[in-house]
């Protein structure tokens, strides 16, 4: 949803930044690896220690720059199959760090029903969010385009980010738990959508 509509805006904003990165001699793969490392460090350092507001801010900046490597690749003509593979693979590591850290936060800082729901929702979000791109990749292997779905990567991160910001301002932990539940449900729906698209087209 958000990923499709935000690409035009991201391109306009990130192109000047990519031009600066080009002048500095940076490569798309450098940005991919660097962005993932910053994401993992920010997630592990800030989320389990209950600094969700700062984590949301840091991850929002990282998310805004998530397309910078692709923009630089197009600008320099250095697009490659390996670059696409690296970006997709490291995205899974970054997402796992975020959702895994949120699950750890729920286990460490919540109590009672909120803790139970938070842990299970965090696990479910981690599993289903990782399955979404896997379903697309496997569909492509048999010649089916299963890229569509109700929730892309950007949507998932924005939802938990909003929950973290609301928690930082209100102190209500259920805001984060609700975000995890929504991400888990939307990711499951997206997986089902991609399975149905693949099933339909494969049969045809």
- List the catalytic residues: 91
Neighbour tally for 138: CB within 10 Å: 15
Cα(24)–Cα(18) distance, integer angstroms: 10
d(CA 189, CA 128): 9
65 vs 154: CA distance, rounded Å: 12
What is the C-alpha separation between 173 and 118, in angstroms, rounded?
A: 9
Tokens, residue 117: 């729901």
For 83, residues 6+ apart whose C-beta sits below 8 A from its C-beta are: 28, 29, 32, 69, 73
Q: How many residues are there in the chain?
A: 204
Burial class (CB in 10 A: 0-12, 13-18, 19+), 9: exposed
């Amino acid at each position: 949803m958000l990923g499709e509509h935000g690409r035009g805006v991201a391109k306009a904003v990130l192109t000047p930044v990519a031009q600066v990165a080009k002048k500095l001699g940076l490569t798309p793969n450098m940005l991919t690896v660097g962005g993932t490392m910053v994401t993992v460090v920010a997630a592990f350092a800030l989320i389990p220690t209950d600094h969700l507001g700062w984590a949301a801010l840091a991850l929002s900046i990282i998310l805004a720059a998530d397309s910078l490597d692709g923009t630089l690749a197009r600008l320099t003509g250095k697009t490659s199959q390996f670059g696409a593979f690296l970006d997709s693979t490291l995205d899974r590591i970054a997402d796992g760090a975020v959702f895994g850290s949120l699950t750890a936060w729920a286990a460490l800082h919540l109590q009672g029903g909120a803790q139970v729901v938070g842990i299970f929702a965090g696990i479910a979000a981690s599993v289903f969010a990782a399955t979404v791109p896997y379903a697309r990749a496997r569909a492509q292997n048999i010649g089916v385009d299963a890229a569509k779905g109700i929730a892309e990567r950007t949507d998932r991160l924005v939802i938990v980010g909003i929950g973290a910001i609301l928690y930082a301002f209100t102190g209500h932990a259920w805001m984060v738990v609700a975000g995890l539940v929504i991400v888990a449900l939307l990711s499951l729906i997206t997986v089902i959508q991609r399975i149905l698209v693949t099933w339909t087209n494969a049969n045809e």
